[in-house]
């Protein structure tokens, strides 16, 4: 197995990626705790590439990174790359977003996930993106998931992410769609 450093310090994200990559020959590990990466990109793809390149160069190992968030049409794509920093807690972020939308009729939005893979020299060898379209509800529904899941309605499923089973969310989410695109390409790489 080849070591693949996940460009995060979050064990939950490592576990999630391990689920997507469980049938591959990659051994996923967290980045070193003292290695910080400033997310200075202006898009999800730029931030994912930045994290993957920085971690690959610093460790001399293959590195994978993702960056994701919610983009609301009526808010010109906000919260976008600032989705996780849109408030101090999930509840704060949801309330801020709902407050900004108020009675706005256009509630179209999409969750976006960009994933980048860098080789040990720090060159990007894979770059994919998944997008799940939906709408922002006027109030939360469901108690599963995290973040904006209770207010993100997926028309095709007739549920919010917070109302879906973890398996269903994994299959239709932005992250699931990004990994679906990544996996066949990853299988072609010979580390």
| Phi, psi of 33, deg, nearest 5 | -60, -30
Catalytic (active site) residue 27? no
The C-alpha atoms of residue 182 and residue 180 are separated, in whole angstroms, by 6
Contact 65, 20 (CB under 8 A): no
Contact 115, 182 (CB under 8 A): yes
Q: Which of 25, 34, 67, 90 is catalytic?
A: 67
The C-alpha atoms of residue 89 and residue 85 are separated, in whole angstroms, by 9
Cite the beta strand spans of the chain per DSSP E.
2-6, 26-30, 62-72, 108-118, 124-136, 152-154, 159-160
**Cα radius of gyration (the chain):** 17
- Residue 127 CA, chain-centre distance (Å), reads 13
Catalytic residues: 67
């Amino acid at each position: 197995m080849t070591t693949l450093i996940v460009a995060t310090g979050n064990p939950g994200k490592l576990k999630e990626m391990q689920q997507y990559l469980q049938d591959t020959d990659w051994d996923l590990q967290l980045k070193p705790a003292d290695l910080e990466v400033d997310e200075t990109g202006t898009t999800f793809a730029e931030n994912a590439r930045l994290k993957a390149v920085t971690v690959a160069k610093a460790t001399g190992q293959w590195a994978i990174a993702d960056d994701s968030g919610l983009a609301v049409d009526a808010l010109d794509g906000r919260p976008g790359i600032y989705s996780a920093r849109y408030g101090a807690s999930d509840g704060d972020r949801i309330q801020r977003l709902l407050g900004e939308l108020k009675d706005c009729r256009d509630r179209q939005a999409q969750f976006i996930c960009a994933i980048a893979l860098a080789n040990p020299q720090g060159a990007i060898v894979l770059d994919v993106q998944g997008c799940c379209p939906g709408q922002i509800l006027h109030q939360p529904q469901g108690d599963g998931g995290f973040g904006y899941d209770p207010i993100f309605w997926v028309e095709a499923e007739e549920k919010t992410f917070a109302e879906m089973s973890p398996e269903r969310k994994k299959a239709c989410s932005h992250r699931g769609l990004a990994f679906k695109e990544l996996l066949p390409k990853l299988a072609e790489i010979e580390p």
